[in-house]
Structure 1
Amino acid sequence: MAGGGGGGGGGGWAELYGPCAGMVLVQWFYALVDMALKAAYGMGMRPIVFIAYRQGIAAAALLLASLAARGWDLRPHMAVGARAFALLFAASLACATGQYFYFQGLQLASPSMARATTNLAPGITFAIAAVIGLEKVDLRSSRSWAKIAGTVVCLAGAIAMAFFKGPKLLSGLPFAAAAADDDWVKGGIYLIGTAFCVSMWYILQVPVCRSYLDPLSLATWMSFLATLQCAVMAFFLESNYLEIWKLASVWELPCILYAGVFASGANFFLQSWCISVKGPLYSAIFTPLSAVITTVLSTIFLHEELHIGSILGATAIIIGLYVVLWGKAEDVKSERLTMQSNNSKMILEPECTGVKFECGTSLSAPLLSKNTNDNTCTC
């Protein structure tokens, strides 16, 4: 019987601090890729082309990592059934579409706005999960009201960022290009669409990780499928399909390599691993960090103009995010107390021989554990 999970002795640094260090690294990779993207856009690269190259390089890097870790026989690790492939395909499509929306929004609006709106994902994830039945909403519970209120505040903050710029808080240098108001609004709409795609990716990670528990192989498959999906999307989105794949400048290559190896390959692996160990809720807690890093970097290096509306909207999104996360964390505590109570009742029952019950994995529960039977409690 899995006890309190408190962790006596074993595990070491990687188990205790690895997920935290991994998620901090993920946020730095995301912040820095925005700088690389802005540089690539300045050289004329199309967003869908950037994503296709990025995912292709990520897939190649992850495949090499798999070969180095496991030798030449990858069949036991990379083989997937029809259900797992369908889930991987859907998750990859959500990822590829979300990246396209994100890069379009980044191009039309600003890096700080783009990164801030990623914090919408947990609130929207809760809303979608509630609609499809993965989340229970009890209007008599303060936890449910916290998640509802946090989602509303997040969306209000995103709308404020998209439609209300307000006066400048910090001005960029004289040569800094400011986005036109109509482009700013379009960019905001794209970025809100990104949050919906990321939310779908989070939700799909739960069944994906249940049926396919190897983070490295999972990340390899998702990058490979996203590459193919982007190539197909480019055929419909771009008129001169053959010409768009040519690099206009040698400086585009390092931008693509960084985005592919670190912002896609390493991040896919780190996020999948952290979600499998700690659950999606844990990974979502770190998302505001990339917004702070991106705002600082874009103000210093890209001379981005900061507006009151952007600051207020970003602040509202982050407050709403943590309200949602608080509600979800309280849900987890309540579920654990209920489960412990059920366990103790079943242990005290004199006729309980060989009784088995499924604990169920919530959106915030770890998907991997030390014991393979942690999701099935017996007495």
Structure 2
Amino acid sequence: MGEQPISSSCGRLSSMLENAKPYLLMVAMQFGSAGMYIITMSSFNRGLSRYVFIVYRNAIAALILAPFAFFVERKVRPEMTFPVFWRIMLLGFLEVVMDQGFAFLGMVHTSATYTSAVLNALPSITFLMAVILRIERVRIKEVWSKAKVIGTVISFGGCVLMALYKGPVLNIFGSSYGNGHNHSTSTDSSSTRDWIVGTVYLFISCVAFSTFYVLQSMVLKIYPAPMSLSCLLCFFGAAQAVGIAVGIEHHSQAWALGWDSRLFAPLYAGIVTTGIMFYVQGEVMRSRGPVFVTAFNPLRMIIVAILALAILGEKLYLGSVIGSVVVVIGLYAVIWGKSREFHGQDCTTETKTEMEIADAQELKQKLPVIIQMPLTAADTHVKIQTLQIITKPCPPGATSV
């Protein structure tokens, strides 16, 4: 008697954890991503080439993911075909070469905090890319569709505001760390920084990453092995990045790693933010879609801002704060519209199904049933060899039974 309530409670707890799983995974992913910003910026300050960093990061990720992908997904991994191969090559180019390359270039021209703030425009750009590729629908008469369109415009306006207006420095925690920071990456050294150019680089990174998100969700439908997909795109992306890095960094000194952040940064980025996060976002994307994955970026921005102030000594500008708030408002307008669209589609589908069932039952009652029973001459009684039911509309003047 007492086992049933316990079993019921365990079932409810298991159901709650299953429903909360995508949210917990995305929150954990933002903490991991925030750490990457701080460690990467520190390694750049110590002289690590961003081109070499991209190669090491993705090569390490491919090596880490390879054994897990081989054994865990060996029964579900589909056969590699040429259409899948060239799509994976394209994903590797978009994420590794374009997104990471321009993101780090923009970070060098701006700061880690500013970069994480600008990348909050990802959901809006993702929505725009999905519309272009006809994955998302725009119905301007619907409230949810208006919210997504307006949110996209607001997010873009926030990015423009951050690029054009810096404003005064905000002294957080009552102390200033910026005086001892490397002048080449300090946010308060306008002579070595072009914020508009840096924002353009970050915007290109956003476009590449948004396109990657949308295409990844499409590739997962024909290649439903997220861990193997992550491993392959890291490998092919690193292979493409090698050509660029070798062409730019000729001397061997640029490829040397030391026992400091120059070694730890590629390891951390390769294992946590490239290997694990690619797999996690692929899993969540299959159930919740690409817009849901990018909805948690504001949390990363807050974590990066706190860590950058405390560890890197970056300055926080009023323009960045105001622009970040505007971008987040636009972000959640897009997310709200996506949520309303999702629930609206569910209700429409359920209503349509109920109406179809009701119509079928009504049609069944109104149509007469004719039973044909072939008889056998061998027996004195009637044997039913086959029973065939034919439905046909009532003839004119007939009475339905």
Using the size of structure 2 for normalisation, the TM-score is: 0.79
Q: What's the CA shift for 1:76?
A: 5.9
d(CA) in 2 for partners of 1:10 and 1:304? 43
1:95 aligns with 2:95: yes
d(CA) in 1 for partners of 2:90 and 2:17? 31
CA 1:215–1:303: 2 relative to 1, 3 Å = same
**Corresponding residue for 1:111?**
112
Deviations 1:298-341 (A, max 9, x none): 01111111111000011111111000111111111121122112
Conserved? CA contact 2:127–2:136, under 8 Å: yes
d(CA) in 1 for partners of 2:88 and 2:176? 42
Q: What's the CA shift for 1:112?
A: 0.9
1:254 aligns with 2:264: yes
**Corresponding residue for 2:37?**
34
Q: Which runs of 4+ in 1 moved over 6 A?
A: none
Deviations 1:197-252 (A, max 9, x none): 1110111022111111122112111211211121123244x151655323366541
**Corresponding residue for 1:48?**
51
CA 1:301–1:243: 2 relative to 1, 3 Å = closer
Q: What SS does the aligned partner of 1:350 have?
A: helix
Q: What's the CA shift for 1:281?
A: 2.7
d(CA) in 2 for partners of 1:161 and 1:273? 33
**Corresponding residue for 1:85?**
85
What is the identity, as a one-letter code, of the residue corresponding to 1:151? T
d(CA) in 2 for partners of 1:14 and 1:49? 40
Q: What's the CA shift for 1:261?
A: 0.5
**Corresponding residue for 2:180?**
175
What is the identity, as a one-letter code, of the residue corresponding to 1:185? I
1:193 aligns with 2:198: no
**Corresponding residue for 1:57?**
60
d(CA) in 2 for partners of 1:76 and 1:334? 33
CA 1:87–1:249: 2 relative to 1, 3 Å = same
1:223 aligns with 2:234: yes
**Corresponding residue for 2:157?**
156
d(CA) in 1 for partners of 2:278 and 2:263? 21
d(CA) in 2 for partners of 1:159 and 1:98? 19
CA 1:145–1:53: 2 relative to 1, 3 Å = same
d(CA) in 1 for partners of 2:13 and 2:354? 26
Using the size of structure 1 for normalisation, the TM-score is: 0.83
**Corresponding residue for 2:18?**
15
What is the identity, as a one-letter code, of the residue corresponding to 2:38? M
Q: What's the CA shift for 1:342?
A: 2.1
Deviations 1:25-76 (A, max 9, x none): 1101110011111121122111121011000100100112235646xxx486
**Corresponding residue for 1:347?**
357
**Corresponding residue for 2:387?**
none
Stretches of structure 1 lacking an aligned partner (at least 5 in a row): 1-7, 354-379
Conserved? CA contact 1:31–1:294, under 8 Å: yes
d(CA) in 2 for partners of 1:219 and 1:130? 25
What is the identity, as a one-letter code, of the residue corresponding to 1:215? P
Higher Rg? 2
What is the identity, as a one-letter code, of the residue corresponding to 1:328? K
d(CA) in 1 for partners of 2:321 and 2:360? 61
Deviations 1:255-292 (A, max 9, x none): 21111111110111111111112222322221111001
**Corresponding residue for 1:359?**
none
Conserved? CA contact 1:43–1:248, under 8 Å: no
**Corresponding residue for 2:217?**
206
**Corresponding residue for 1:131?**
132
Conserved? CA contact 1:95–1:197, under 8 Å: yes
Conserved? CA contact 2:77–2:224, under 8 Å: no
Between 26-35 and 166-175, report the one with greater CA deviation: 166-175
Give the total of aligned pairs: 342
d(CA) in 2 for partners of 1:135 and 1:243? 47
What is the identity, as a one-letter code, of the residue corresponding to 1:189? V
**Corresponding residue for 1:234?**
245
Conserved? CA contact 2:78–2:223, under 8 Å: no
What is the identity, as a one-letter code, of the residue corresponding to 1:129? A
Deviations 1:69-101 (A, max 9, x none): 46xxx4862742222222222222111110111
**Corresponding residue for 2:290?**
280
Q: What SS does the aligned partner of 1:286 have?
A: helix
Q: What SS does the aligned partner of 1:45 have?
A: coil
CA 1:233–1:135: 2 relative to 1, 3 Å = same
d(CA) in 2 for partners of 1:302 and 1:27? 19
Q: What SS does the aligned partner of 2:305 have?
A: helix
RMSD: 2.3
Conserved? CA contact 1:234–1:241, under 8 Å: no
1:334 aligns with 2:344: yes
Stretches of structure 2 lacking an aligned partner (at least 5 in a row): 1-10, 365-401
Q: What SS does the aligned partner of 1:208 have?
A: helix
Conserved? CA contact 2:76–2:225, under 8 Å: no
d(CA) in 1 for partners of 2:345 and 2:16? 28
Conserved? CA contact 2:69–2:228, under 8 Å: yes
Q: What SS does the aligned partner of 1:41 have?
A: helix
